[in-house]
Amino acid sequence: MKLPLPPARSLGNKLALVFFAVIAVAFAVIFLVVVPQLQTNLEKQRVTELRRVVPVFTSNFQSVLTSKTPDQQRDDFVRSVGDSADADVTVFQQPPDLWVTYNSRVSPEVSASRELAALAYRTGHIQARVERVNARRTAQAAVPIKREGQKRASYVVVYARDLADVRDAVALIRNRLLIAGAIALLIALIGSYAVAWALARRVRRLEAAAKQVAAGNFIEPLPEDSEDELGQLTRTFNEMQVQLARVDSARREFIANASHELRTPIFSLGGFVELLQDEELDEDTRNEFLWLMREQVERLQKLAVSLLDLSRIDAGSLELNPEDVDLSELAREVAGEFTPAVSSHNTRLQLNLPESDVEAICDRERVAQIMRILLDNALRHTPEGTRVTVSADRSNGTAQVTVADTGPGVTGADRVFERFFTGDAARGSGLGLAIARELADRMSGNIELRSQPGRTAFTLALPAADRNGSA
Ligand SMILES: Nc1ncnc2c1ncn2[C@@H]1O[C@H](COP(=O)(O)OP(=O)(O)OP(=O)(O)O)[C@@H](O)[C@H]1O
Ligand SMILES: [Mg+2]
């Protein structure tokens, strides 16, 4: 049963939130920083324009204001300047109070800034800036007018232009931005949910597949339809499934083989026990049966030990104690154990073992086990009388032991290291060489087989111990 995700944690919500935040921050910056800056720049530009225009009228003002021109004419003059400068023109008379004398506007409402006029009067220079008058922003320029020969100005002419057009342009931009922002947020919302939905669908497909595999059902490989991270995850999942299937079938095969190997001697023992229950059995037959039973029990014991070794190797719980081991000495020891087997094989074991210098870093017991496996094979899978040689030497940083025989050679040489592979009629369980190779592997060594009719040689190579080292 699939529980719905809490809303805040769904992929779609997270994505939508991130998109939303990014777009909102971007628009806020445009709104709060860029647009006001634009407005300021436009206004400054207007002030500069006005300042460039006003000096044109200064000399005319000088002559009109400082001569005895009638008031009506002065009014007309101020109005005409207002028209040609496209500004409200106001003339202030000299202080104390900076009285307004003339105004180009028809309505008496004065928009000229008294402060600016006062500033121009005080400094004696043109002053221009943005002024807020009657809640409107205006560009204003104040020009002091002096009588000939006087130091101080007698009048200040203030030109004022409404900045409504700037305000309108900025308001329009703000409006458009709002609409664009709303649309962008909507697209982000729809887009992020669409992307999240598509991603979530693919993730759910993987999740369902993983659950199937966890329940032990191997399914068809998922379609690998994209190159993105999820596509890679899908590919890895498919590979994992193939691996798991391989491991699973290897496990089944192993169990099937192991039970088969166990069943044969157990049935055989059961049969002998029944035969022995026959009271009329003579002593010789009974002894022969007991001898055969002993053989089966030995076979079972060997098999149990081999299976245990393999399961330890597979589980990684095989403990190794690496030390410097003299391979010559060890080979001599192990060969000694085989004296009875060698004599019943009607042959001679030849040892080519140098007195010293063949030292390897390895686990002594495990190397002895590998040697036993190789010697056992050389005696068991060859006809009676076949000569067996054990030799040891060093080569290319490795210490080697070779067990060779003059038998007919190995059949199925490429498969002898597989588990449960037996290539001839000798009743082995086919685990010896598989274990030997795994053990060699664990000790950073390897086993090589060179085989042809008349000479079969298994060589175990192990990392050599340093001659000048502790050994
Ligand atoms: N020296 C050899 N000469 C010829 N054939 C060999 C020799 N050594 C191994 N083989 C072949 O390789 C096969 C696999 O050997 P391996 O030691 O793994 O199993 P096994 O000897 O049959 O059984 P186990 O050793 O588990 O009792 C043998 O069945 C045999 O056919
Ligand atoms: Mg063997």
Residue 445: give its domain's CATH number.
3.30.565.10
Return the ligand 1 atom nearest residue 428 CA: 23
CB 113 within 8 A of CB 133: yes
- Report the C-alpha gap between 248 and 254 in whole angstroms: 10
Closest C-alpha residue for ligand 1 atom 8: 377
CB 390 within 8 A of CB 335: yes
In a domain? residue 168: yes
In a domain? residue 197: yes
Q: Are 145 and 26 within one domain? A: yes
In a domain? residue 219: no
So what's the pLDDT on residue 97?
A: 65
Instruction: Specify the residue for token string 């009048």.
Output: 155
User: Tokens representing 77?
Assistant: 């003059």
Is residue 326 in contact with ligand 1, taking CB distance under 6 Å?
no
**pLDDT tens figures, 79-116:** 889 888 888 898 888 765 667 777 777 555 557 888 89
Query: 455 φ, ψ to 5°?
Result: -155, 120
* CA triple 240-246-249, angle to 5 deg: 140
CB proximity list for 366: less than 8 A, separation 6 or greater = 320, 439, 442, 443
Q: Are strands 359-363 and 100-103 parallel, antiparallel or unpaired?
A: unpaired
So what's the pLDDT on residue 8?
A: 60
Share of the chain above pLDDT 90, in %: 55
DSSP annotation of 371 reads H
So what's the pLDDT on residue 469?
A: 47
Alpha helices by DSSP H, 86-146: 114-123
- Report the C-alpha gap between 140 and 85 in whole angstroms: 12
Q: Give the dihedral sign, CA 369/351/429/453.
A: positive
Residue type, 182: A
So what's the pLDDT on residue 467?
A: 65
Closest C-alpha residue for ligand 1 atom 1: 378
Residue 290 pLDDT > 90, yes or no? yes
Q: Are 142 and 268 within one domain? A: no
Alpha helices by DSSP H, 88-216: 114-123, 164-214
Q: Are 88 and 7 within one domain? A: yes
DSSP annotation of 466 reads P
* CA triple 159-160-161, angle to 5 deg: 130
Q: Are strands 88-93 and 127-133 parallel, antiparallel or unpaired?
A: unpaired
Q: Are 56 and 122 within one domain? A: yes
DSSP annotation of 359 reads E
Is residue 436 in contact with ligand 1, taking CB distance under 6 Å?
no
- Report the C-alpha gap between 383 and 47 in whole angstroms: 116
DSSP annotation of 34 reads I
- Report the C-alpha gap between 16 and 172 in whole angstroms: 29
Return the ligand 1 atom nearest residue 417 CA: 18
Model confidence at 1, pLDDT cuts 50, 70, 90, reads: very low
CB 166 within 8 A of CB 43: yes
Report the candidate in 236, 439, 438, 161 with the shortest Cα–Cα distance to residue 321: 439
Instruction: Specify the residue for token string 């049935």.
Output: 267
Q: Are 107 and 184 within one domain? A: yes
Is residue 416 in contact with ligand 1, taking CB distance under 6 Å?
yes
**pLDDT tens figures, 192-202:** 888 888 888 88
Q: Are strands 153-162 and 136-146 parallel, antiparallel or unpaired?
A: antiparallel
Is residue 429 in contact with ligand 1, taking CB distance under 6 Å?
yes
Could you count the other beta carbons within 10 Å of the beta carbon of residue 228?
Answer: 10
In a domain? residue 42: yes
Task: Look at residues 263, 298, 314 and tell me which one is the last residue of a structural domain.
Answer: 314
Q: Are 327 and 444 within one domain? A: yes
Q: Are 248 and 289 within one domain? A: yes
Mean pLDDT over the full length of the chain: 89
Q: Are 47 and 187 within one domain? A: yes
Is residue 456 in contact with ligand 1, taking CB distance under 6 Å?
yes
Task: Look at residues 296, 314, 332 and tell me which one is the last residue of a structural domain.
Answer: 314
CB 300 within 8 A of CB 265: yes
Q: What CATH number is given to the structural domain containing 241?
A: 1.10.287.130
Calculate the alpha carbon distances from 429 to 16, 248, 264 in Å.
Answer: 64, 22, 11
Q: Are 310 and 338 within one domain? A: no
Is residue 433 in contact with ligand 1, taking CB distance under 6 Å?
yes
Q: Are 141 and 2 within one domain? A: yes
Closest C-alpha residue for ligand 1 atom 4: 410
Q: Are 304 and 335 within one domain? A: no
The domain tally of the chain equals: 3
State the distance from the centre of ligand 1 to the C-alpha of 415, rounded, in angstroms: 10
Q: Which domain holds residue 154?
A: 1-205
- Report the C-alpha gap between 13 and 209 in whole angstroms: 25
Buried b / exposed e across 145-182, counting CB within 10 Å, b at 16+?
A: bbeeeeeebbbbbbbbbbbeebeeebeebeeeeeeebe
So what's the pLDDT on residue 62?
A: 85
Q: Give the dihedral sign, CA 188/189/194/198.
A: positive
In a domain? residue 217: no
Return the ligand 1 atom nearest residue 435 CA: 18
CB 72 within 8 A of CB 80: no
State the distance from the centre of ligand 1 to the C-alpha of 456, rounded, in angstroms: 12
- Report the C-alpha gap between 279 and 258 in whole angstroms: 35
So what's the pLDDT on residue 327?
A: 95
CB 394 within 8 A of CB 405: no
**pLDDT tens figures, 220-252:** 888 888 888 889 999 999 999 999 988 888 889
Q: Are 258 and 112 within one domain? A: no
CB 213 within 8 A of CB 219: yes
So what's the pLDDT on residue 470?
A: 43
Task: Look at residues 279, 298, 314 and tell me which one is the last residue of a structural domain.
Answer: 314
* Cross-strand bridge partners of residue 139: 130, 161
Number of H helices, E strands in the chain: 12, 12
Is residue 369 in contact with ligand 1, taking CB distance under 6 Å?
no
In a domain? residue 280: yes
- Report the C-alpha gap between 412 and 274 in whole angstroms: 38
- Report the C-alpha gap between 411 and 49 in whole angstroms: 105
Residue 397 pLDDT > 50, yes or no? yes
Return the ligand 1 atom nearest residue 430 CA: 19
**pLDDT tens figures, 406-442:** 999 998 888 999 999 998 877 788 999 999 999 999 9
Nearest ligand (C-alpha, residue 431): 1
DSSP 403-442: EEE-SS--SSTTTTTSTT---SSS---S-HHHHHHHHHHH
